[in-house]
């Protein structure tokens, strides 16, 4: 099985910064991509950012472009999300995911989520 664990969430003021980390572990043969989605109560999960593991190509939600930066550490199976110029509307539970090939299957695995609150 594959385990995905996020960390780094917290309370910040508007305009502040926060860096999220996410590590994948377990029965991993290869990682194809990792990324982040977010969700607020009563609403659906929203894609935020993704990075391809080999080439490093990135994809972002339009509203976070120029403010958020996704990066990876291949040796540690870890992805990061640097969030700058945070806005109240960025408040959500942020979930990390990995698209992973294991010894028995190829699947997407999700972390438990980390709360980000942007408020003055």
The CA distance from 60 to 41, in Å, is 22
pLDDT tens digits, the chain, 120 residues: what are they? 899 999 999 999 999 999 999 999 998 889 999 999 999 999 999 999 999 999 999 999 999 999 999 999 999 999 999 999 999 999 999 999 999 987 777 799 999 999 999 999
Helical H runs in the chain? none
Whether 92 contacts 38, CB under 8 Å: yes
Phi-psi region of 66 (alpha: psi -120 to 50; beta: other; left: phi over 0): left
Of 30, 48, 57, 42, which is closest to residue 95 (Cα–Cα)? 48
């Amino acid at each position: 099985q594959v385990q995905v664990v996020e960390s780094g969430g917290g309370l910040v003021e508007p305009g502040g910064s926060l860096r999220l980390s996410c590590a994948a572990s377990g029965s991993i043969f290869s990682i194809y991509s990792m990324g982040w989605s977010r969700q607020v109560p009563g609403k659906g999960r929203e894609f935020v950012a993704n990075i391809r593991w080999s080439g490093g190509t990135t994809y972002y939600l339009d509203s976070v472009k120029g403010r958020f930066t996704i990066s990876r550490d291949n040796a540690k199976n870890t992805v990061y999300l640097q969030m700058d110029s945070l806005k109240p509307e960025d408040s959500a539970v942020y979930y990390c995911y990995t698209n992973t090939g294991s010894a028995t299957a190829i699947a997407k695995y999700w972390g438990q989520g980390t709360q980000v609150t942007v408020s003055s």
